Structure formats: structure tokens, C-alpha cells
Amino acid sequence: MKGNWINQFKDAWKRFKDNVSVLDLNILNGEDLSAWENLFMGKLLPHLENEGCLVIAVAGGTNTGKSTILNVLMKKELTATDYRAAATKRPVIIASEQKAKQCLNNSMFLEFEARKMENKEEAISKSLANHILLVKEEKSLPDTYLYLDTPDIDSIAKEHWEMADKIVSAGDIIIAVMNDSKYMDEAVIKFFRRAYEEGKIVIPVMNKVDRDNPESLQIADTQIRDFMKKVEMDENSPHFYFPRYPYNEKFLDAPIKPLTGSDIELRDYIRSFPVQETKTKILERTISRFKEEFTKWYQNKFEKLFKHSFSKVKIYEGYLEDTIVGKEFKPFPEIQLVKDIKRELRKQIGNFKYFMLFPTSLFSGHRSEIKKLEINTEGVNEKIKQKHNEMIEKCFNELLDWLLKSEFISEIDCIDKNINKRLHELKNNQDAIKKKIITRVERLLSVKPEWLQGEIEEIVKDFLKSPNLRGFYGTRIISFLLLGAGLGSMVLGMPYFGPWTESIAGGGMLGSSALIESVEYKRLLKSINSLYEKWKEKKQREFSQILKEEVLQYVLQDVYQYISLAEQFDKEIQDIFNGEISLKKENIGLVQIEANDNSQNNAIMEKQ
Ligand SMILES: Nc1nc2c(ncn2[C@@H]2O[C@H](COP(=O)(O)OP(=O)(O)O)[C@@H](O)[C@H]2O)c(=O)[nH]1
Ligand SMILES: [Mg+2]
């Protein structure tokens, strides 16, 4: 990764997210995303940008005494405790003057709105929004430590754990507060396992331990070890306990004593971590964890949707080109191909020679075939126009029918919903769209491609180069003279060898050269035909492009947009990660979506 990748990544992600958010895709939510996004937004971005401090967060299940433990750590009642479950509604930061200022500038916890805490009850108040982060300044704290109270991670309120997830991502040291009835819950274990995997230091504290019972310490130790085993952390990591004090007793100054792994109490243990070193180590682990989580999301969500969209688009474009345009749309050569070739012939050999060529083309029989092509070129008459329009309509209708038949069943959720919406809009507006397409096709048929003139010149040159035509000039003059003499003697009754003799000789000469030259005419006809095919293919491609723009790109605009945004994002990501993470476009197998398949889809839908 490049040195300033953090900011590059932030910008690339913001651009992609903002642009793609209009498409309302589910790749923008979900656990995979929140895992890396929380790490990035909550940890990497603020903590690489601000000078390091250790963030100590208390976290744990409902009513375990998180807020109480935080107050004990601070030896002061700074955050509100409550006997009710899920009392703490929003995170509370306890920070030195300087750090409190940074937090209030919103440069540390990016996804929250920081606000100064005037009264500790604000933490449990129901009248404030949850995304508010309360900042409590504590002058006695050094700038190198920042404490955090968090909402429950297993609360019934889902927004609590999302918030806790976000806020704990920002932590370096997580104090896992539990009590004997709340330490093995699935949600709690999962939460701390993830925190541990993300590279955080997890310190378990068993709260409300029966203080007059020596056995209970043994039990607390066993329970914490069970917890640590489940979290997959080292069982001998330091862990602590805090007794259940009677309500009337002051316990804020009491120590949070070690059970195993430490000989100092929790406050001192926390202070024993070398700040910068710990910070760097945690950040390194966080970065690699972030990369893992990001890659997971990239491949499972982002790339999957890309491939799906891409193959879908390819199927529709393929259907359009191969099935509809290739078979249904055969435009006539309104460009007057044959006339152009004749004109070119005259230009290259002059009128006289051109006239001399004429009889053999007549005899060789190819003239009538060439004429066939010419017939269709007689101007742009109404009949031809109408035929074109019929073809266009047929193609359009077939495409529309096919799209309608292959209704997009929510494979990519919102995108598909939008596609269906647009498809019906298109159906209702089809007359106007057809008209627009017809106008565009008329224009494109009347435009003569540049390359055509060059091709025509080549064909004529090639035709004239043929050995059979060389020297035809002299032969032709003699045959004409003979024919003329024969005809003359027939009409004028002049006594030559006999009128038939000359005519037969002249005609025979013409006939035999026609026979020899017919090879060249065949070649000429073939060239004209292949030029026509080339022109037709070009016009078909252009027509297919028009249908693609007016129909497919309209109906599938979300898919096209996603593809282009994803490609853009991918390019930026590749650059940031030096190509380590990138779309695997090469193995996009076409998903088989056929119109007929849809009957099955409908059947499945009906069953549900
Ligand atoms: N007596 C006594 N009560 C405690 C102790 N720890 C927590 N509590 C009580 O347990 C309840 C929940 O505590 P709180 O810190 O608000 O839990 P949180 O929801 O995890 O923050 C409150 O009524 C606390 O007074 C303790 O050590 N002794
Ligand atoms: Mg609390």
C-alpha cells in the first residue's frame, strides 16, 4: 500500500459510496461492509491522522456494570449508571482537555456527532438522538489516554449494538465487563472474538463477585477462562474481578483486582502499556485485519454484483445482436452501390471503353445479376422506407417482448425493481420510442461510410487488372467492325462474303470474349456482394447500437451505471493496493438467463 493510502482510500470510497447510493444496493449494508468500514472510519482514519492515544473502552452485555466499572477506573462518578437494562443509550468519552477538544471537532469519531456532556444523565436520556457522542472533559487525565463508555452489545435494541460495534472499533484496549449470569451469550462472545481478531487488547473483568465468599473467586476465574477459550484468546491473559459492594458503601476508590496474569490492579495494569508502541502494534494488526475484511467484502459483495451485472448486460446485448439484429434487420443498399461502381468504371476507363465493355457483360449473363442488386438501389422510395420501418418495429417488439418475458426477479434486489419499473415505462411509451428509433435509423441509412469510396475504387481497379480484359480493346473493335459490315451488307445489300458471315464472325468474337471474361464478371459480382455484406453489417451494428441506447441502456441503466462506477472504484483500489485486490473480470462466466427460464422463476414465485 502506498504511504498516503488512507486519504486516497477515503476519497475513493466516498466517491463510490455517494455515486452508488442512488442505486440503493444492498452491498452498501451488511456485516461484511460494516466490519471493514468501522475499522477504517472508526480507527484507521482518525488514529492515523491524529497523534496517538490509547482508547480504553468498556464493553459487555446488558446491565453487567460497564458504566460502574468505568466510574471505578476513573475513581469518579462521571457516567450515569442505572438499574434498568440497556440504560446507556449513547457512547460517552472521557478525555483530557486537549483530546476532548479533538473529539468535539469531530475528528476522532467520524460517524458520530460529538457534543459536550453537561450532565451525566444525558448518557441514559431517551430524548437525545443515538448518534450523539457525549464528551466529558476530565482534567486529571493525560492526553495519552481516552476512556469510553458504550451501550450494550447484546441489547434488545439493534441500533445499540451497531453503535457499540462502531465505537468499539475505535478502541485499543477493550475492558470486557461480565458477571456470572452474563458471560457466555453468543452475541457477547462473537463481539469480543471479533475485537480480539481485529488486534485489540481484550481484558476481561468479572463484576459483582460475591466478596465475602472465597469460593466465588475460584468460580469467577473458571468462568473467565471459559469465556476466553470461546473468544479464542490466550487463557492466561490477565483478567480481573470487581466485588459486589453494598449500595450504601462507597466503592469508587476500590481496586479492580487481578485474578490471574497480573500482580497489579486494573488501573495500573492499563497504565503499564507503553502508549506509542502499543498503539503502533494495534494499528498494524488493525490494518491487516481491515485488509482481510475489505477483501472479503470486495470479493463476496462488490465483485459478485459486478460479475452478475456484467454477465446480465452481456446476455441482453448478445441477444440483441445475434438474435434480433443479425436475423431480422437486413437493410437495402440505399447507397446505390452498383451505380457507384459503374460511375467509377467510367471514370477509370473513359466512356468509350466503358461502352465497349457493355456487350460482354450482357452476354456473360452477370449483367442481370448485377442489375438485381441495382434494382433495390433505385432511390429511397416510400416502399423501401416502409419495409425498413417494418423491420425496425419487428426488432423492437421482439426485444421488448423478450425483456418483458424475462422479468427481472430480484436477484440483485433494488436494481431489479428499478429495471422492472423502467421496463413498464418503456412499454407504455413504446410508440414514441419506436418513432425516435425509426428517425435515427433513417438517418444512419442515408449516411455513406467513408471507407466505401476506397473499397469501390479497389474493386474497379481489381476488375480492370484481370488478364482476360487486357487487350480487349482491339478485339472488340474488330468484332464491332465485322458486325457492322454484316449488318450493313444486310441492309444495303452490298455483296461481301455474305451478310451472315461477318455477323457470325463478329458475334462469335464477342461471345467468346464474354465466355472468357465471365470469370471476371463473376469476381466483380462477388466483390460487390461482399461489399454489400460489409456495409450491411456496419448498418446492423449501428442499428443495434441505437436499440441498445434507446432500449437496453434505458431499461438497464442502473446495471450499466453500477458497472461503470465499479470499474472506476476498482481502478482506484488497484492503485491503492498495488493491484493486490482487483476485480477478477476474466472469469466472468455468462449466467444463463433466458426468457424461457422465467416461467420457472414465476412458478417459484407463485409457490412462495
Ligand atoms: N451494588 C453494586 N451494584 C452494582 C455494581 N456494579 C454495578 N451495579 C449496579 O448494576 C446496575 C447496572 O450497572 P451499570 O453500570 O449501569 O451497568 P451497564 O448497563 O453495564 O452500564 C446499576 O444499578 C449499578 O448500580 C457493584 O459492584 N455493586
Ligand atoms: Mg451503562
pLDDT digits (tens, 9 = 90+) for 406-435: 766 555 556 777 888 888 899 999 999 999
SS3 93: strand
CA 236 to ligand 1 centroid distance, Å: 27
What does the alpha-carbon distance between residue 384 and residue 408 come to, in Å, rounded to a whole number? 37
- In a mutational test of the pocket of ligand 1, which residue from 58, 62, 63, 64 has the highest number of ligand atoms less than 8 Å from its CB? 63
**pLDDT tens digit sequence for 146-162:** 999 988 877 767 777 77
Lowest-pLDDT range of 42-56, 220-234, 438-452 = 42-56
Q: Is residue 245 lining ligand 1, measured as CB closer than 6 Å?
A: yes
How high is the pLDDT of residue 142? 93
How high is the pLDDT of residue 603? 37
Q: Say if CB 374 and CB 338 are below 8 A apart.
A: yes
In 3D, which of 132, 54, 137, 36 has the Cα closest to residue 94?
137
Q: Say if CB 425 and CB 368 are below 8 A apart.
A: no
How high is the pLDDT of residue 591? 47
Instruction: Return the HEC string of 40-88.
Output: HHHHHHHHHHCCCCEEEEEEECCCCCHHHHHHHHHCCCCCCCCCCCCCC
How high is the pLDDT of residue 593? 44
Residue 604's pLDDT band, with cuts at 50, 70 and 90, is very low
- The mean pLDDT of the chain is 85
Residue 494's pLDDT band, with cuts at 50, 70 and 90, is low
DSSP state of 589: P
**pLDDT tens digit sequence for 141-198:** 999 999 999 888 777 677 777 777 777 778 899 999 999 887 788 889 999 998 998 8
pLDDT surpassing 90 at residue 232: yes
Q: Say if CB 598 and CB 407 are below 8 A apart.
A: yes
CA 138 to ligand 1 centroid distance, Å: 22
Q: Which atom of ligand 1 is nearest to the CA of 85?
A: 19
How high is the pLDDT of residue 3? 60
Q: Is residue 249 lining ligand 1, measured as CB closer than 6 Å?
A: no
In 3D, which of 113, 117, 121, 111 has the Cα closest to residue 95?
117
SS3 279: helix
Q: Say if CB 373 and CB 528 are below 8 A apart.
A: yes
In sequence order, which residues have a C-beta less than 8 Å from that of residue 122 and are 6 or more positions away? 80, 128, 134
Q: Is residue 80 lining ligand 1, measured as CB closer than 6 Å?
A: no
pLDDT surpassing 50 at residue 601: no
**555 CB-contact burial (10 Å; exposed 0-12 / middle 13-18 / buried 19+):** buried
Share of the chain above pLDDT 70, in %: 90
Grid coordinates standing for 22? 442512488
Which amino acid residue places its CA nearest to atom 14 of ligand 1? 65
Q: Say if CB 52 and CB 279 are below 8 A apart.
A: yes
Residue 598's pLDDT band, with cuts at 50, 70 and 90, is very low
Q: Is residue 88 lining ligand 1, measured as CB closer than 6 Å?
A: yes
In order of 257, 452, 537, the CA distances from 530 in angstroms are 92, 12, 10
Other C-beta atoms closer than 10 Å to the C-beta of 127 total 6
Instruction: Return the HEC string of 193-253.
Output: HHHHHCCCEEEEEEEEECCCCHHHHHHHHHHHHHHHHHHCCCCCCCEEEEECCCCCCCCCC
The angle that helices 382-405 and 430-446 make with each other, rounded to 10 degrees, is: 130
Instruction: Return the HEC string of 141-175.
Output: CCCCEEEEECCCCCCCCHHHHHHHHHHHHCCCEEE
CA 236 to ligand 2 centroid distance, Å: 28
Q: Is residue 81 lining ligand 1, measured as CB closer than 6 Å?
A: yes
**pLDDT tens digit sequence for 531-542:** 988 998 999 999
Give the type of residue at 95: A
CA 386 to ligand 2 centroid distance, Å: 78
Q: Which atom of ligand 1 is nearest to the CA of 245?
A: 28
Question: Is the model more confident about 120 or about 147?
Answer: 147
Q: Is residue 155 lining ligand 1, measured as CB closer than 6 Å?
A: no
How high is the pLDDT of residue 339? 84
SS3 474: helix
How high is the pLDDT of residue 586? 66
In sequence order, which residues have a C-beta less than 8 Å from that of residue 577 and are 6 or more positions away? 1, 5, 291
What does the alpha-carbon distance between residue 169 and residue 114 come to, in Å, rounded to a whole number? 17
**pLDDT tens digit sequence for 208-228:** 999 878 899 999 999 999 999
Average pLDDT (586-591) is: 56
pLDDT surpassing 80 at residue 273: yes
What does the alpha-carbon distance between residue 357 and residue 351 come to, in Å, rounded to a whole number? 10
Q: Is residue 286 lining ligand 1, measured as CB closer than 6 Å?
A: no
Which amino acid residue places its CA nearest to atom 16 of ligand 1? 81
What is the DSSP pairing of strand 92-95 with strand 145-149? antiparallel
What does the alpha-carbon distance between residue 469 and residue 520 come to, in Å, rounded to a whole number? 8
pLDDT surpassing 60 at residue 46: yes
Grid coordinates standing for 315? 446476455
pLDDT surpassing 80 at residue 307: yes
Instruction: Return the HEC string of 421-465.
Output: HHHHHHHHCHHHHHHHHHHHHHHHHHCCCCHHHHHHHHHHHHHHH
pLDDT surpassing 70 at residue 140: yes
How high is the pLDDT of residue 131? 83
Other C-beta atoms closer than 10 Å to the C-beta of 273 total 19
pLDDT surpassing 70 at residue 467: yes
What does the alpha-carbon distance between residue 319 and residue 330 come to, in Å, rounded to a whole number? 17
CA 93 to ligand 1 centroid distance, Å: 19
Sheet strands side by side (includes 145-149): 113-116, 132-137, 92-95, 145-149, 54-60, 173-178, 201-209, 239-243, 257-260
What does the alpha-carbon distance between residue 592 and residue 597 come to, in Å, rounded to a whole number? 9
